[in-house]
Structure 1
């Protein structure tokens, strides 16, 4: 039976399992300093999040003094990881509910399609007033709106990844969980989370990259003819771009590169090395991934300390969740007639709810805009759909082979994986002012140039998922391919491409949703007094949000959601079913 194995021996050992006391002491000191620095930074930043609003109200501008960049970067990083924490909790709850209940999946999966297609400006325009009412007289209302906007750019692809990992779990591991009579809580932490760890981790990286891409829109919030500016590196870039100050934009780019490199070194590289123990394999990796930070953490003994502290809480949670039942426990038998009646009632209620929603949508949009405007919105949606399709086709042809090579070759991964992570995490819209100048100088039509701008922020969904899929290929299958001396083309046809096909489908779904979202900031670019606007649904929604045209916002978001759901149902879901049926590693 396949199992999760840890390919790394005890870090810092001398080959006989011994570790020097000086190495352990030094590691403990380094970890203690790091923990104190983390709590010190939180203590410094948290009071500013709930600061009262001054007499002048919420500011609409931020200072572009480069001396403020370290503080702005810390504020942005804090927002990013608070949103990531909420996204992870949402992912576990939503993905588990969709995977464990077929009836719930009929609602939750299409709803996830709709949610990922709604642009963050749509969420902001609908929720900014709610956040301001919940936290009156405090900057925390705008901070909550910003964090929620970042959350909406992170959560959906993580939920998709977790859901598809759950429905693709190896059958023998499910049987083992039933045989051991694990409780549902135990199964979640001993099977569900470990089996999904590698793709979920890569999608967390991609989610943070997606959050950086929308950082400017989430920190310089312009809705309903009002602008709310929060201290952050995204709002700094927006302000410097409005001032046409390329030098200060350059300083922001340098600061952002430093932030991305630090996060990669301190967080992502240790996590990817640690996640190797969750690979499904029957043999050890010949070249395991290494991380200096992970080695220091293991030598310090902090993982043992956390395990001892968390053991009582784990035992308590295990006791209180036992009434939920065990894996494979006896379920209540329902007669066929009662099941048919229940399903009919459920489908009737669902159809009635959808009909009511469509009627309300028609009542809000068509009388206010007229049939001609609605047809125009559909035409703009088709233009954006063509851009998204071209983007996905080119990105797949380029990045599927590159991602597979990175994921399967540890030496190549050590060199290129950090580079890919940096490129994916770097907010591409920081260079949009330079792109605007280039388009103007070379007379490039923004209707074509916007495809490149969209690709800068969304191609990484495909890259990261393919890398995760390739790195999860069992070593015994690779060894078998080498033993059979398969030619390269045959190895790609019979092993690599089938193994990464499911990951490519997941990446394609999330990349498509991300591309539709990215059209909001890619079809309208500006630098100072120069503004370029492409014909498309993204520019339509951006303009409607800025002016507070509610009916146009609803029409644009509804048409975008319709296109995304239709494409997913017609194209992506059949491919995902094919991947699960024919190419799952069982």
Structure 2
């Protein structure tokens, strides 16, 4: 490992205050449609007839696919800009910290009511809302992974791209994306699993006392759980597991095998991963024809167009001066500041509507949720690190456990939770303890998948060197494994922490069998405020959650990220 200092650790300052004020303003703009707007239901009834399951599953998979494509585009654009523009990075990374900590329910008023207003006579607005809400549960960990992969690019590769005279687009497609592929693929699988986790909350929810619902497997499971219909719930979970297995074997398994070729190493592994589906696709005459005659020529045209565009843009940046562009930029800044000041003032007025009792609920709620998050993280670390390393470094174990883990991770804990909730309510401390389990079930996979990606990315050269010098046991963990997986583990822990806070909205406030069960916590506070349309409480709950998450990121994760970029980079 070669030490290379890349950034200076920054402390909390005036910029962070500006960011918090901006977020408060944006959150006010997000919930303001619900303060004045008329809320109407979608008019759709979700049936628990199991004959509807195939169509419901197809609709949910379609929404998930659309949300994932949107997440991938966001990841590549946002992560690239944050990694390459130092001025933008100072704002974009803290904003990303905040976005991953904002619960899905906090996006509801603006997204749902705004899109319904645009499409008042049909369910297009509600469909788009569901896709965007799923996107908010998928995008952040993928973006963190891509951003951090660019930041830890080996210096040798950067120098090589400079010697060959690669422009920004060529550097992006030939170096940065390939280097980040392994982490991006595993975080994509985690994002897909996270989409299943929040699907029940996105396809069927209550806003200001009114029900919104869309036909899908998520709303099917939630309806069955609310009715206490164990038969329908069992069939729904079985259908979901079947879909997850099929998707794993037909898509994710081939993709992970394909991604293995992007490992940076001089010695090839003797146990190359295999996929039956990928082998069939590579042997297919039809696929070969489509690639050679349609896809490759089209991709080449797009590539040439972007190449020319990047060259023109670079030339224009070198010759442009101050003028109309400079004036427009300042006018835009003034308008944005004016909008933020207006919405920030209104957010302050909204918070003044909170009663003393509501203010008094905030601190205990934060304390209880914070303890649950810590407990879930510790439990996750205990088992995910050794299991993730075993899967990532041993192809035989990976072939056995990877499909199982992908299936288990994709089963939404929110679907299983009502089934086991009764047991916890009667035997093991009620929802106060059960909520920790739900947080764990929903977020431990962020750590596991990133550890697997980190272990898979360890070059075979280093493994062979460790074997040659007889480095085994704890010494091997200390010298090779932990330093190699540390950047990936860190990304997993950051996103898992944000995921825990996000999962609190469904783990601390549960509807089952026609009754609501809740415990003291920030997630329960936000869920209750959303359901009752208490927008001042929703705003303060979301703001406090953002402040806590960003505070932890600033005091802990930021320093560890700096350590990762300085000390734990694999240089060639």
Aligned counterpart, 2:190: 206
Aligned counterpart, 1:487: 472
Aligned counterpart, 2:205: 221
Equivalent residue for 2:274, pick from 272, 287, 290: 290
Aligned counterpart, 1:324: 310
Deviates more, 1:562-571 or 1:222-231: 222-231
Q: Deviations over 1:70-92 (max 9, x none)?
A: 11111111111110000000000
Alignment of 1:134-533 (within 5 A): 134-301=118-285, 302-303=287-288, 305-309=290-294, 310-325=296-311, 356=341, 360=345, 363-370=348-355, 373-442=358-427, 444-533=429-518
Deviation at 1:102, TM superposition (A): 0.6
Unaligned runs of 5+ in 1: 1-55, 335-344
| Cα distance between partner residues in 1 of 2:356 and 2:386 | 46
| Cα distance between partner residues in 1 of 2:427 and 2:530 | 30
Q: Deviations over 1:139-198 (max 9, x none)?
A: 111111111110000011111110001111111111111111112111111111111000
Deviates more, 1:130-139 or 1:353-362: 353-362
Q: Does 1:59 align with 2:43?
A: yes
Deviation at 1:487, TM superposition (A): 2.6
Deviates more, 1:402-411 or 1:313-322: 313-322
Deviation at 1:349, TM superposition (A): 9.1
Q: What secondary structure is seen at the aligned counterpart in 2 of 1:153?
A: coil
Question: Do the aligned partners of 1:391 and 1:451 also contact (CA within 8 Å) in 2?
Answer: yes
Aligned counterpart, 1:73: 57
Q: Does 1:126 align with 2:107?
A: no
Deviation at 1:461, TM superposition (A): 0.1
Deviation at 1:325, TM superposition (A): 4.4
Q: What secondary structure is seen at the aligned counterpart in 1 of 2:137?
A: helix
Q: What secondary structure is seen at the aligned counterpart in 2 of 1:228?
A: strand
Aligned counterpart, 1:555: 540
Q: What secondary structure is seen at the aligned counterpart in 1 of 2:136?
A: helix
Q: Deviating runs (4+, > 4 A) in structure 1?
A: 325-334, 348-359
Unaligned runs of 5+ in 2: 1-39, 321-329
TM-score (ref. length: structure 1):
0.84
Q: Deviations over 1:281-304 (max 9, x none)?
A: 111111011001101111114256
Cα RMSD, aligned residues only: 2.6
| Cα distance between partner residues in 2 of 1:384 and 1:307 | 54
| Cα distance between partner residues in 2 of 1:293 and 1:278 | 19
